[in-house]
Amino acid sequence: MTVVLETIDLAKRFSGIIAANNISLQIAKGARHALIGPNGAGKTTLINLLTGVLRPTGGRILLDGEDITNLPTHKRVRLGIVRTFQINQLFSELTPLETIGLAVSERRGQGLDWWRIVGSRSDLVTEVVEILERFHLTDVIDKRTAVLPYGKQRLLEIAVAIACRPRVLLLDEPAAGVPEDERHEILAAVAALPNDVSVLLIEHDMDIVFSFADRISVLVNGALFVEGSPEEVANDARVKAVYLGEEAVDA
Amino acid sequence: MTPPPSTIRAATEWLSARARWHPLEIVFWLAAFAAIYLLPDSHLILTEIAWLGLFALSLDLILGYAGIISLGHAAFFGFGAYTAALLAKHEIINEPVLALLVAGFAAMALGFVTSFLVLRGSDLTRLMVTLGVALLLRELANRYGWLTGGADGLQGVIIKPVLGMFRFDMFGHTGYIYCLTVLFFLFLIARRLVNSPFGLSLMSVKGNPLRSSAIGISVDARLVAIYTVAAGYAGIAGALLAQTTAFASLEVFSFDRSADLLLVLIIGGAGYLYGGLIGAIIFKFMQDYLSVLTPQYWPFWIGLVLVVIVLVGRDRITSWTAPFRRVAARLNWQALARRVAASSTERH
Amino acid sequence: MLTILFDGIAYGMLLFVLASGLAVTLGLMNFVNLAHGAFAMAGGYVTVVLVNRLGVPFLASLPLAFLVSAILGIILERTLYVHVYKKPHLDQVLFTIGLVFMSVAAVDYVMGSSQVFARIPSVLQGQFIVFGIGVGRYRLLIIVICGLLTVGLQFILSGTRFGSRLRAAVDDQRVASGLGINVNRVFAFTFAFGSGLAGLGGALGVEILGLDPTFPLKFMIYFLIVVTVGGTSSITGPFLASLLLGIGDVAGKYYVPTLGTFVIYTIMIVVLIWRPQGLFSRAASR
């Protein structure tokens, strides 16, 4: 297995609170890797560290063996590390067409083009419409993002990430807050991701996790607790103990 | 699985919709140029409206499109004004258009250098820093009176004819044509810019900087770029003032100027390029009217206007232009032509 | 040299009293009130009118200056400011700039545009020499009054129930009102108190800073420097920033007169680049 993204003793401390405790995680190329853990375990913090939104207080991050620990967020995106946000982070005044158009245009290095009119490159427009079709967004293609139903916004959130042609995709609870009847579209989109894209998925819904993942890491209190294949993790007594409290509350 | 060509055509149209020239825009510019011949008695005030409109346009670029609140945009205005005035006074560059370009580049350089100050920090920090830079320049201009003329202003400035041919006159005829041409040219460039992929990225940075960096946009670099361009525009506006009045004084850096500018842009509405121009027209006529009524206390009325605008709500104020924009959309000539062509083929 | 230090400290403490209200309003309501100087101006003019025209003793006029400014603050807060709290920062800036313009023009109309002075009692004039340092009596009074106010403020904030309600409301409005704290009343009272302090500072400052209708505009930048450099998460931050500014300004004008206020602006810009959240605030690191 080739490792595409790995962390070595990654740590983050917020004046007294240890949010990430010497995490050494490896994501394989083409992986369908899930990250689970109780609330507050530090899963989103880890994503923020991997993408450069937070600077670590210790440890390193390597992409294909290159040290990217001190790279700013936008440079990591250019190298292929893309994430989605747990709470939608979209451009409320732009339409899905413009949003995806922007992402594709930036990816193609045309973001600094100040003379061309938006939409005058037909190959770019074709690619944008293709992506929108794939995510079933063509019926709202020209509506302001702010007026879209939540499920569509969530699909747009994933579509934007895909438009960046990621090598490593970090999905932060993609189905969170989506009503039951709109979930299957999200799940189908996640399942249809290209095979060469390595995916790290954070999820709470165990059905999604076990149907999606070929490898699961469990994060508790900022530290890696248990790692292994879905069967190993499902049968691990320690994991059950950690989750037993949560399940009792849910039930 | 390529999408059907009709969808792609529709998408292309939607994307470039912002960039299409509305009929009202054409009417606006035709009227502006027609005023050269139709309103010769008003050329002096029209000249002021022209460079004020350019100044407000430059603020719109950073405030309306990039979301940077500046209380010190007069810094670049004044820098351009003094550059142009000094170039003329010491006969370093005798041709006004050339001097204008130099002043613009000087202001751009200043903008570039100070742009790093507005990248970090909250809205309040940006306010402070921009205000501080403008006040600093005013202080510098005050201290170095041997160069700038100090509190009395720069005297003895003589502006040579534009392009060696068109002499500046007392009635503002040359002045208006000169300023309007410069304004129109720079407006065209700005219009292209905001409707480009770069312009779209600015809007995204203003709306959600976190998301922008998450799709690979370097937020800092974009802000530096637009801040620099806006500074250049402001500097050219200042140079136009200096050239059409053959004078420059400390007051070009003053807080009053930056504050008035905010009002000008807000009256017209920020974020669609014409707000600064419309605001300049309204502001100048308002100023003219009020300073006849109460020559000393007209800042009171300006303050009142500001308070009322905010209390009523900026959205409700700019919504008065919405009916015009709707009519303009319906009057889209291309759509009209297509419909006409379609209906004529039906009939035959 | 120590005289300069003394004068600088007096100036700094005066600035602190003037700006403390702004620091609290900004930290509390996240509201950028550029018109803060107008309340200071009001207090200054109250004292001038009372002392010069009505013969009220100077020291007696000080509490009245505080009161008038505080009442003015409550009236404006309840009628106008309250509508602008939730608006974006740009709107708050425009609104308060509008108020400044209105107040400057109004005072110009009513009181005339020339600088005014207040007659200070002769016991406060002049200076006495202590260990070879010239200690101005008026400045000593300022240091005493402002020092007491600072200590009082600190006590109110950390030692009283009102103080803890205020700090709770600053930390999290929704939680505070959920706990039964009447956030609106806390805001109104704090705003009034801050305006009153500004008025008191304005009254004290007539002699040192000079008073004319353009006061709010001239000193706006100083107040803003105090709150941005000092941060808004404590009282000590603005206090130290005011001292720094006061000493810096006086020393700068004395030692480097050709540069004068230039120095202040440069210091401010440098500080803001280095630590945008303020020199002394306890902002969390990224």
Q: Which of A163, A150, A144 is nearest to A88 (CA)?
A: A150
- What's the rounded Cα separation, in Å, for the pair C168 and C31? 17
Question: Quick check: A125 and B3 CB within 8 A?
Answer: no
Question: Quick check: A102 and B7 CB within 8 A?
Answer: no
Nearest to B262 among C94, C220, C268 (CB): C94
- What's the rounded Cα separation, in Å, for the pair A38 and B3? 43
Is B260 a member of any domain? no
Contacts of C286 in chain A (CB under 8 A): 54-55
Domain ends where: B253, B268, B295? B253
- For residue A48, CA distances in Å to B281, C30, C275 come to 48, 27, 23
| One-letter amino acid of B107 | A
Nearest Cα of chain A lies from the Cα of C151 at a distance, in angstroms, of: 29
The residue segments making up the domain with residue A13 are 3-91+166-250
- What's the rounded Cα separation, in Å, for the pair B76 and B51? 14
Number of domains in chain B: 2
Number of domains in chain A: 1
Is A112 a member of any domain? no
- β A168-172/A81-83 pair status: parallel
Model confidence band, residue B227 (pLDDT cutoffs 50, 70, 90): very high
Model confidence band, residue C285 (pLDDT cutoffs 50, 70, 90): very low
Is the pLDDT at A198 greater than 90? The verdict is yes
Q: Which of A50, A54, A93, A117 should be substituted to probe chain B, the one whose Cβ sees the most B Cβ atoms within 10 Å?
A: A117
Chain A to chain C Cβ contacts (< 8 Å): 5
Chain B interface includes C84 (CB < 8 A)? yes
Q: What is the DSSP string of A78-104?
A: HHTEEE--SS----TTS-HHHHHHHHH
User: Could you give phi then psi for residue A198, rounded to 5 degrees?
Assistant: -90, 125
Least confident of B58-67, C60-69, C89-98, C144-153: C144-153
Q: Which residue of B has its CA nearest to A83?
A: B214
Neighbours of chain C (3+ CB pairs under 8 A): A, B
Reading the block at residue C240, the tokens are 């130290």
- What's the rounded Cα separation, in Å, for the pair B304 and B121? 30
Reading the block at residue A145, the tokens are 């993002």
Question: Quick check: A55 and C286 CB within 8 A?
Answer: yes
Contacts of C285 in chain A (CB under 8 A): 15
Is A52 a member of any domain? yes
Is the pLDDT at C224 greater than 60? The verdict is yes
Contacts of A55 in chain C (CB under 8 A): 286
Is A96 a member of any domain? no
Model confidence band, residue C232 (pLDDT cutoffs 50, 70, 90): confident
What is the reported pLDDT for A234?
A: 84
**What is the arithmetic mean of pLDDT over A234-247?**
74
pLDDT tens-digit readout, A159-193:
999 999 999 999 999 888 888 777 888 888 888 88
Least confident of B94-103, B209-218, C14-23, C147-156: C147-156
The residue segments making up the domain with residue B37 are 22-253
Is B4 a member of any domain? no
Reading the block at residue C4, the tokens are 């300069």
Least confident of B157-166, C77-86, C263-272: C263-272
Q: What is the mean pLDDT of chain C?
A: 82
What is the reported pLDDT for C116?
A: 81
Domain ranges of chain C: 2-214
The number of C-alpha atoms within 13 Å of C204 and in the hemisphere containing its C-beta is 28
Chain A interface includes B165 (CB < 8 A)? no
* Better-predicted residue by pLDDT, A116 or B183: B183
Question: Quick check: C284 and A15 CB within 8 A?
Answer: yes
Domain ends where: B233, B253, B273? B253
Q: At B176, is the secondary structure helix, strand, or coil?
A: helix
Q: Which residue of A has its CA nearest to C282?
A: A15
What is the reported pLDDT for B278?
A: 93
* Better-predicted residue by pLDDT, B332 or C234: C234
Question: Quick check: A118 and B200 CB within 8 A?
Answer: yes
Chain C interface includes B266 (CB < 8 A)? yes
Kindly state whether residues B238 and B343 are assigned to the same domain.
no
- What's the rounded Cα separation, in Å, for the pair C95 and B245? 32
Is the pLDDT at A242 greater than 50? The verdict is yes
* Better-predicted residue by pLDDT, C187 or B333: C187
Chain A interface includes B295 (CB < 8 A)? no
Contact in structure between B192 and A115 (CB atoms under 8 Å) = yes
**What is the arithmetic mean of pLDDT over A24-51?**
90
Is B186 a member of any domain? yes
Domain ends where: B253, B281, B307? B253
Least confident of A22-36, A137-151, B268-282, C258-272: C258-272
- For residue C117, CA distances in Å to B98, B150, B219, C209, C216 come to 51, 28, 51, 10, 17
CA-atom Rg of chain C in angstroms = 19
Contacts of B12 in chain A (CB under 8 A): 119-120, 122, 125
Burial of A5 (0-12, 13-18, 19+ CB in 10 A): buried
This complex has an ipTM of 0.88
Reading the block at residue B119, the tokens are 């990248």
- What's the rounded Cα separation, in Å, for the pair B284 and C15? 37
Nearest to B306 among C95, C261, C266 (CB): C95
CA-atom Rg of chain A in angstroms = 19
Nearest Cα of chain B lies from the Cα of C187 at a distance, in angstroms, of: 20
Contacts of A15 in chain C (CB under 8 A): 284-285
Q: Which residue of C has its CA nearest to A15?
A: C284
Model confidence band, residue B337 (pLDDT cutoffs 50, 70, 90): very low
Chain A interface includes B200 (CB < 8 A)? yes
Model confidence band, residue B342 (pLDDT cutoffs 50, 70, 90): low
Q: How many CB atoms lie within 10 A of CB C93?
A: 22
Is B137 a member of any domain? yes
Is the pLDDT at C241 greater than 70? The verdict is yes
With b for 16 or more beta-carbon neighbours within 10 A and e for fewer, the C29-40 pattern comes to bbbbbbbbbbbb
What is the reported pLDDT for B7?
A: 81
Q: Which residue of C has its CA nearest to B64?
A: C90
Nearest Cα of chain A lies from the Cα of B112 at a distance, in angstroms, of: 17
Is the pLDDT at B326 greater than 90? The verdict is no
Q: What is the CATH number of the domain that holds A182?
A: 3.40.50.300
Question: Quick check: C84 and B311 CB within 8 A?
Answer: yes
Q: Which residue of B has its CA nearest to A77?
A: B216
Q: What is the mean pLDDT of chain B?
A: 86
**What is the arithmetic mean of pLDDT over B330-339?**
48
What is the reported pLDDT for C281?
A: 56
Is the pLDDT at C1 greater than 80? The verdict is no
Chain A interface includes B188 (CB < 8 A)? no
Model confidence band, residue B348 (pLDDT cutoffs 50, 70, 90): very low
- Kindly state the helix (H) or strand (E) to which residue A8 belongs, with its residue range: strand A3-14
- What's the rounded Cα separation, in Å, for the pair B91 and A76? 52
Task: Quote the DSSP letter at residue B2.
Answer: P
Task: Categorise residue B149: left if φ over 0, alpha if ψ from -120 to 50, beta otherwise.
Answer: left
